[in-house]
Amino acid sequence: MSARPILIRGGRVVDPGQKLDRVLDLLLAEGNVVETGAKLAAPDDAEVIEADGLVVCPGLIDVHVHLREPGAERKETIASGARAAAAGGFTSICAMPNTDPVIDSPATVGFVAAAGARAQACRVYPVGAISIGQKGERLSEIGELVDAGAVAITDDGNPVMDSGLMRLALEYAQAFDIPVADHPEDLTLSRNGVMNEGVVSSRLGLKGKPNASEDVHIVRDLMLAEHTGGRIHLQHVSTAGGVDAIRRAKERGVRVTAEATPHHLVLTDEACEGYRTDAKMNPPLRTRADREAVREGLRDGTLDTLATDHAPHHYDEKEQAFDDAPFGIVGLETSLALVLTHMVGGGVIDLSTMIERMSCAPARAFNLPGGTLAPKSVADVTLFDPEAEWTVDPKAFVSKSGNTPFAGHTLRGMPRVTIVGGRVVWRSED
């Protein structure tokens, strides 16, 4: 049941891999890119998408999302998360394994992959756990997880505190050439912190997580990656010290990739004022100096990958005292617009660099198809209007959850059409 060919006509095609940024046509057929070119002829049975005024780019990829299924389906399901991703312009997402049960067996990896395929939205790649039950004690059967479809391993949510185990994971995973992703947080330093440790936490009387709790863990992971030759992927870097350590490690040739999130690029810990639980996340929003460093890291490529850490929570869980509310915010449906508005619009990066960070680099980091519009590559394509203004309304989200600190923000940039494997999986209504 091959889809009809698609001709995308007259869009601004931006493909950093081919150093392309021109108004062109793009032809897709049989799940792959056929070619880009000027004034391409539409095959007889082709669907023609007029892309005048739109950017046409390799499909966006988010290597860090929480889909909550199995176990917390009231927050999100694999299907609802995949649809939310498609609505946000994403063609591929990587599902974190901190579900209930944890994704630490071939059967659970297979479940995520199958449910992802059934959703018929974006591609859903399972990420397996580093350790059984994410307990940080014994390695999971990493080879079997990879055979079942896992593209990476992580204990995200429960950082691997045992440095010896982390070393073994970085060594063992090399046989499968997958990245070991880590949520860098030294739990003995962050203790029971609920926000950034600084003047705001002092005023609010909330327990802080110091920058050092992240920095120490990042440096440890970099040292272990350097020692083992393994591939480390550092998640949601939020500190100036962390960015600096990663930059220097990259200069030394350490195999490291690293994420920046839209919220750490845009907000600071002042967003927690008034005990706003929608600004409670882990790692926490930090100071202006940290935000500047994360922006610089995004600009110079130290933080090569943009990821949302999409973390849906049911509204009544966030409707609690700050200490009691869970960490995390949704991100899939605001990510593109936040980056366009604040990073591209704010002059931090240009459009091509944005696509590099949101598509090409994540594809490389997790060995995923996509990230390019070169002929014969998969026909995963995102079309967005870089000028359209809209106001964030969580009630309008496709995601089952609306926990975002950006409600009411006016943003510029709107996904229009999302194409996965040559099929339109999502199209905006207006």
Residues 388 and 40: their CA atoms lie apart, in Å, by 27
For residue 310, the 8-state DSSP code is: B
For position 283 contacting other proteins by CB under 8 A, the verdict is: no
For position 275 contacting other proteins by CB under 8 A, the verdict is: yes
Shortest spacing between CB 207 and other proteins, in angstroms: 8
Task: Spot the catalytic one: 278, 309, 380, 385.
Answer: 309
Counting residues that bind other proteins (by CB under 8 A) gives 21
Among 199, 248, 289, 396, the residue binding other proteins under the rule CB under 8 A is: 199
- Is residue 9 within 8 Å of 50, Cβ to Cβ? yes
For position 189 contacting other proteins by CB under 8 A, the verdict is: no
E strand map for 127-179: 153-154
For position 208 contacting other proteins by CB under 8 A, the verdict is: yes
Among 204, 223, 348, 424, the residue binding other proteins under the rule CB under 8 A is: 204
- Is residue 399 within 8 Å of 330, Cβ to Cβ? yes
For position 214 contacting other proteins by CB under 8 A, the verdict is: no
For position 74 contacting other proteins by CB under 8 A, the verdict is: no
For position 288 contacting other proteins by CB under 8 A, the verdict is: no
For position 320 contacting other proteins by CB under 8 A, the verdict is: yes
Count Cβ atoms below 10 Å from residue 374 Cβ, excluding itself. 14
Which stretch, 40-48, 114-122, 146-154, 321-329, contacts other proteins (CB under 8 A)?
321-329
Which residue type sits at 297?
G
Shortest spacing between CB 398 and other proteins, in angstroms: 27
Burial of 70 from C-beta contacts in 10 A (0-12 / 13-18 / 19+):
middle
Give me the residue label for tokens 């490291």. 256
Among 321, 347, 395, 429, the residue binding other proteins under the rule CB under 8 A is: 321
The sign one gets for the Cα dihedral 70, 404, 325, 200 is: positive
| Residue 309 annotated among the catalytic residues of the structure | yes
For position 323 contacting other proteins by CB under 8 A, the verdict is: yes
Count Cβ atoms below 10 Å from residue 259 Cβ, excluding itself. 29
Among 44, 177, 251, 316, the residue binding other proteins under the rule CB under 8 A is: 316
For position 319 contacting other proteins by CB under 8 A, the verdict is: yes
HSE, CB side, 13 Å, CA atoms: give it for residue 105.
7
Residues 163 and 365: their CA atoms lie apart, in Å, by 23
Which residue type sits at 205?
G
For position 322 contacting other proteins by CB under 8 A, the verdict is: yes
Instruction: Give the residue among 169, 181, 177, 170 at the shortest CA–CA distance from 258.
Output: 181
Shortest spacing between CB 318 and other proteins, in angstroms: 11
Which stretch, 34-42, 320-328, 338-346, 385-393, contacts other proteins (CB under 8 A)?
320-328
HSE, CB side, 13 Å, CA atoms: give it for residue 279.
19
**Binding footprint of other proteins on the chain (CB under 8 A):** 197-199, 201-208, 210, 274-275, 316, 319-324
Residues forming the active site:
309
